[in-house]
Chains A and B, each alone.
Chain A
Amino acid sequence: MKSKSLVSITDFTKDDYLRILEKAAEFEKKSYQNLLDSKVIATLFFEPSTRTRLSFESAINRLGGRVIGFNDSSTSSVSKGETLYDTIRVVSNYSELIVMRHPLEGSARFASEITNIPIINAGDGANQHPTQTLLDLYSIQKTQGKLDNLNIFMVGDLKYGRTVHSLLMALSEFNATFYFISPDELRMPEEYKLYLDKIGLKYHESKEFKPNIIEADIIYMTRVQKERFSDPIEYERTKNAYVLKNEMIEDSKPGMKVLHPLPRVNEIHPDVDANAKAYYFQQTENGVYVRQAIISLILGLV
C-alpha cells in the first residue's frame, strides 16, 4: 500500500481494507502517536466540506504532522484561474501527501497521475469518497464483530448515492446479502446488480422495508434529495416513506445498527437518536482513526 494513492475504493484489495481496519483499531486505542514527526501534509479543499476536512486535520495532528492547504478555492490562486494541474504540481513540492476534495469527477485520478506523491481522494464530485467507505467498513466490523455474511439494508437514494455504491463494492468482498430499499426513481443502477449477479451474491429490492427488517444487521440510510426527482409531486409523495422512525426498527435484531454518512436532512427521525441502535455519531468518530491508519500506511510509517 506504501506510496499508493487512494482514489477509488477499488484501488485497494480486500487485504488492504483489513490492514487499514486493523491499524485503525490500534489508533482507537492510542490515537496520539508522533509518527508524522512534523511532516507536512496538504489538505486541498477546492469545495468546502468542513466535516471531512476537520476529520482529516484531526487525524494529521494526532499523528504529529503539520497541515497546509485551503478550504475554499475562492480564496486561493485557483480562483485566479490556475489549473488543477499547476496547483497539484506546485503543492507536490511543499508536502508529503495531498488530501483533496474537488467538485469535478475524476479530478483525484488525474491528480494522482501528474505527481509523484500520494493523493488521498476526499471526494471528487459525485464520483468517489473512499475514506468514507473505509470508515463505514470499520464501523460495521466494530459493531458486528465481523464483516462476513452480513445482511445490509441500503435505504433511500441508491441511484446517485456514491457512498452506497462504494460500500457495495467493498462489502461484495465479504459475502454480504443486500436489501435495496428505494423509490422507483432512485433504484440501485443495473451495473451494480449485474455485478452482484456475476459474483453470485444475493440481493433483494423493494419499495418498503417494514416486512423483512428483522433480517437486518446494518441499515445504511442515505439522503433523498429533492433535486434528484424529475417530478416534484413524486418527491413530496415519497420523501416521508424513507424517513426512519423508532417504531420501524422495534422488531430488528438487538445488535442491529443504523448508519448514515451525515449530514442528514430529515431521513432519520430524531426519536431514533437516543436508541442504542443508532450509530451515526460514533461513525464519524471512527473516521479519524481510519484516516490515521490510511495516512500512516500510505506513507509507510507503520
Chain B
Amino acid sequence: MFDLKDLYQQVIVDHNKHPRNFGRLEDPSHEAEGYNPLCGDRLHVYLKVDDQDRIEDVRFEGEGCAISMASASLMTEALKGRTLEEFRALFEGFHELVTSSGDVACDETDLGKLAVLGGVRAFPSRIKCATLCWHTMKNAIERSGVARTE
C-alpha cells in the first residue's frame, strides 16, 4: 500500500514551500489559465517560445494544494530549454506516470525529477491536482484559454 510519505515526498514539500519559476512573465508568447472548480486550484502559466520552437522561459502563478504547486514548479523546471515536440512527449509520459494502474510502462528515468509525483497514482482524488498544470500548459501552447480538470 502506498503511504502518505510516497505522496508528500521531501521534494514535493520543498517545491510547494519554495516554488521555482513562480511569478509573472513579461511579454509571453503563450499563456493560459487553468482552474479546477472542484477544489478551487487556480494556475496561470506563461511561456516564451523562440522561433526554433524552443521554450526559452516559463513561469507560473497561482494558488492550490501542495501537489498542484509542486507539480507546476517541477514542470517549469523540466520544460525550460525543451522544444514543443519534447513537451508533447513529456506530457504523455507524465500523464501515464500519474494515471496508469500497476506498472508504469513509460521509463521513469526519462521524466527525471517529475517521477516523484508518481505517488499520486495511489490517491485517485488527487491526480487532477498533479495534472492541472500540464493541461494548462498544453492549452497555452495549442491555444490560449482556460483549462479545466474536473
Partners in one complex: no
Mark B residues whose CB is within 8 Å of A: none
Mark A residues whose CB is within 8 Å of B: none
